[in-house]
Structure 1
Amino acid sequence: MKGVLLVNLGSPESPTPKDVKPYLDEFLMDKYVIDVPFLLRALLVRGIILRKRPEASAEAYSKIWWEEGSPLIVLSKRLHKKVQQATDLPVALAMRYGKPSIEQGLQELADKGVKEVLLFPLYPQYAMASTLTILVLAEEIRKKKFPDMVFTDVPAFYNKPDYIKVLAGSIKSSLEGFEYDHLLFSYHGIPERHIRKTDVTKSHCKINSTCCVTPSAAHKFCYRHQCYETTRLVVEQLGIPEDKYSLTFQSRLAGDKWLEPYTDVEINKMPKKGIKNLAVVTPAFVSDCLETLEEIAMRAKEEFEENGGEKFHAIPCLNDNDDWVQVIANWVNDWAVAEIPVS
């Protein structure tokens, strides 16, 4: 029997330092997130970051928390429910960090007799700190707890025509009635070394103006290339002029070289360049979360206006958009029949 496991990032159980701290510990101690030796990672995370960050993060989470709970969890559950209604296969939901865990999700499927699982990381672009860590942990759990299970992984879908169509349509719909001067594509940032580590050629990724547009086998796992390609395809479909959009990266940690340009730096410059009405979309996420609701829709908006901006519009993620649900269901149903990964 076949089944599906949708996997998203996760969230603290409450917007309090008490619950944020163990969540951050699990997240930041992941060797694919902070990819340094364990002792150094433990010193950095538990000796420095977790001394102050839980309080600051809890305050940020409290600004976006809904009555039903964490927005990311609530929206993921809504998506899960709709996808389940659109397919006959059993569908479970899991989070990489926090609850429900990947083990819980696999157990739910196993209890229904599922032997073949479509692992579906809810990330359009491939990255060590998102897709890879899900696949590695799921495989570790499978070997220990569910040795008879067989996995099929959904590859990064950053350039899939049906995904691009839905994303472009969602952006267009959200922009109706908003006369924007500029559309900013803001992607989650990652350290530059992650790009080089995932370069299967070990030589292609130079992180310059040409490597992401030069054909290479490295692009299959290159987050930077995939961000630029998602943007290119959406812009092409929407017919947006070259001078009316740009791409940036958000959410960096201090003390490391991360992908540039930085979202906050660029947004703060825009009013002086004559950009008074700004729209921002965050295509690295399919569900609204702390990084979209607080970092962009609140903090970036406030800084934009403080620097002379007039109107700021944060475009929602796909969330449980019916067209997005149908795309997922189509991929799932195609896999169920063809016995091959999404292509």
Structure 2
Amino acid sequence: MAKTGVLLVNLGTPDSPSVPDVRKYLREFLMDERVIDIPFLNRWLLVNLIIAPFRAPKSAKIYQEVWLPNGSPLKVYGLSNEKVLGEELGSEYVVRLAMRYQNPSIPAVLAEMEKMYLKKIIVIPFFPQYASATSGSVHQKVMETVKTWQNIPEIVFAGDFYKHPLLVQGFADNAGKFLQNNSYEHYVFSYHGLPERQTVKAHHGKTCSELGCEEGITEQNYACYKAQCFETTRLLAEKLGLSKEMYTTCFQSRLGKEVWIQPYTEDVVKELAGKGIKKVLAFSPAFVADCLETTIEVGEEYKEMFIELGGEQWDLVESLNDTPIWIELLKDLVKTYDQPSVFR
């Protein structure tokens, strides 16, 4: 009997924390037209003459800090997810991990799957909230890869899962480890940022302010990254029993001088310290696996900034990584999108 393939896709990681491998990774990542959406020549000059040469040495040092004995956290957790989910799903499924950038690459993994006579492939991008630069880029790469196949099986892309009950419960459970022994004055939900122009493009020319993306999900903004982030925060705050004045949604990892979606996390850190807030619990709900942006940026850099400004305690809630509830969520996504086709 033909099997169903499950392709798990995370953003990517350099092959090692060495400067050459980090530079190679940055070039592939940032040359994606969905990540830096400017004309090709401008993008090529920016990435190859400015960002990659100067950022690679600094990023390599940071990668060395988070690198695990078996490799990059994203890859280690991803391979664990592949193994455990495959065992949970059983022999009717083939589960494989791929990275949008670097290895294991989407083309290489799909080439392996092409030879398996699969009846269907379910693609699960590891991004709870949809953005063109993440989920959209995965969709595009998969479609570009399979378009040359002689026999193309049914391919289904799992949608955004920012409001999945198990995602909310998973982060709430991880927060519980801190809440048992600590009392916090404020809660920060920090998401990876995007240039503001990308949300305007997604809205066909309208801004997040015009569509009320901070207020809730509507028919017009349901696919907006910022709207989905604010909704993720609302659901988590509700689960944790937080009132509106107790938490803030913000965005990190801004690159360059261009306006990105706001408020910026670094500004929020300064504002909280200025108000005399002493104890903060931080979350990074745009990431399902801990990485540079969670462990270092939110967990260490913002903590250092907060303490220097007079804060006393800044703790970071871990991502879902390879916890049982994350595997259960993935399993639920597979079963949801593996509905039998009428014609097969």
Class of the TM-score when normalised by the shorter of the 2 chains? over 0.9
Report the Cα offset of residue 93 of structure 1: 0.4
* Alignment partner of 2:189 out of 174, 177, 185: 185
Match of 1:65 in 2: 67
Please list the CA deviations of residues 151-178 of structure 1 after superposition, one character each: whole Å capped at 9, or x if unmatched.
Answer: 1011111123333233333333443312
SS at match of 2:280: strand
* Partners of 1:280 and 1:225 in 2: CA distance: 19
Report the Cα offset of residue 214 of structure 1: 5.9
Report the Cα offset of residue 47 of structure 1: 1.8
SS at match of 2:104: coil
Which amino acid is 2:202 matched to?
T
SS at match of 1:156: coil
Q: Is the 8 A contact 1:204 1:218 kept in 2?
A: no
Report the Cα offset of residue 22 of structure 1: 0.7
Give the percent of matched residue pairs that are identical in Structure 1 and Structure 2.
Answer: 38
* Partners of 2:202 and 2:260 in 1: CA distance: 15
Within 5 Å, give how 1:305-316 maps onto structure 2. Answer: 305-316=307-318
Match of 1:282 in 2: 284
Please list the CA deviations of residues 85-139 of structure 1 after superposition, one character each: whole Å capped at 9, or x if unmatched.
Answer: 1102111100000100011221232333323100100100000110000000110
Which amino acid is 1:325 matched to?
I
* Partners of 1:242 and 1:209 in 2: CA distance: 21
Report the Cα offset of residue 338 of structure 1: 4.5
SS at match of 1:194: helix
User: CA RMSD of the aligned region, Å?
Assistant: 1.9
* Partners of 2:215 and 2:54 in 1: CA distance: 41
Q: Is the 8 A contact 2:190 2:282 kept in 1?
A: yes
* Alignment partner of 1:127 out of 127, 131, 144: 131
Match of 1:160 in 2: 164
Judged with a 3 Å threshold, the aligned counterparts in structure 2 of structure 1 residues 74 and 211 are, in CA distance, closer, same or farther, namely closer
2:246 is the counterpart of 1:244: yes
2:116 is the counterpart of 1:109: no
Report the Cα offset of residue 58 of structure 1: 0.7
Match of 2:332 in 1: 330
SS at match of 1:217: coil
| TM-score normalised according to structure 2 size | 0.93
* Alignment partner of 2:14 out of 2, 12, 15: 12
Q: Is the 8 A contact 1:87 1:333 kept in 2?
A: no
Match of 1:171 in 2: 175
Match of 1:49 in 2: 51
The count of aligned residue pairs is 338
Which amino acid is 2:199 matched to?
I
2:144 is the counterpart of 1:140: yes
Q: Is the 8 A contact 2:99 2:105 kept in 1?
A: yes
| TM-score normalised according to structure 1 size | 0.93
* Partners of 1:295 and 1:81 in 2: CA distance: 29
Report the Cα offset of residue 45 of structure 1: 0.8
Structure 1 gap segments, 5+ residues each: none
* Partners of 2:166 and 2:236 in 1: CA distance: 11
* Alignment partner of 2:100 out of 96, 110, 116: 96
Report the Cα offset of residue 41 of structure 1: 0.5
Report the Cα offset of residue 302 of structure 1: 1.3
* Partners of 1:73 and 1:146 in 2: CA distance: 31
Judged with a 3 Å threshold, the aligned counterparts in structure 2 of structure 1 residues 102 and 265 are, in CA distance, closer, same or farther, namely same
Judged with a 3 Å threshold, the aligned counterparts in structure 2 of structure 1 residues 23 and 215 are, in CA distance, closer, same or farther, namely closer
Q: Is the 8 A contact 1:3 1:116 kept in 2?
A: yes
* Partners of 1:62 and 1:208 in 2: CA distance: 43
* Alignment partner of 2:155 out of 131, 151, 154: 151
Report the Cα offset of residue 329 of structure 1: 0.7
Q: Is the 8 A contact 1:204 1:211 kept in 2?
A: no
Please list the CA deviations of residues 159-218 of structure 1 after superposition, one character each: whole Å capped at 9, or x if unmatched.
Answer: 23333233333333443312211110000000011101112xx25534368344365333
* Alignment partner of 2:228 out of 204, 214, 226: 226
* Partners of 1:146 and 1:207 in 2: CA distance: 46
Match of 2:34 in 1: 32
Match of 2:264 in 1: 262
Q: Is the 8 A contact 1:182 1:275 kept in 2?
A: yes
Report the Cα offset of residue 220 of structure 1: 3.0
Q: Is the 8 A contact 1:189 1:250 kept in 2?
A: yes
Judged with a 3 Å threshold, the aligned counterparts in structure 2 of structure 1 residues 146 and 300 are, in CA distance, closer, same or farther, namely farther
Which amino acid is 2:94 matched to?
P
* Partners of 2:75 and 2:168 in 1: CA distance: 24
Report the Cα offset of residue 291 of structure 1: 0.5
Q: Is the 8 A contact 2:213 2:224 kept in 1?
A: no
Within 5 Å, give how 1:178-217 maps onto structure 2. Answer: 178-199=182-203, 202=204, 204-207=206-209, 210-213=212-215, 216-217=218-219
SS at match of 2:117: coil
Judged with a 3 Å threshold, the aligned counterparts in structure 2 of structure 1 residues 219 and 209 are, in CA distance, closer, same or farther, namely closer
SS at match of 2:338: helix
* Alignment partner of 2:79 out of 72, 77, 82: 77
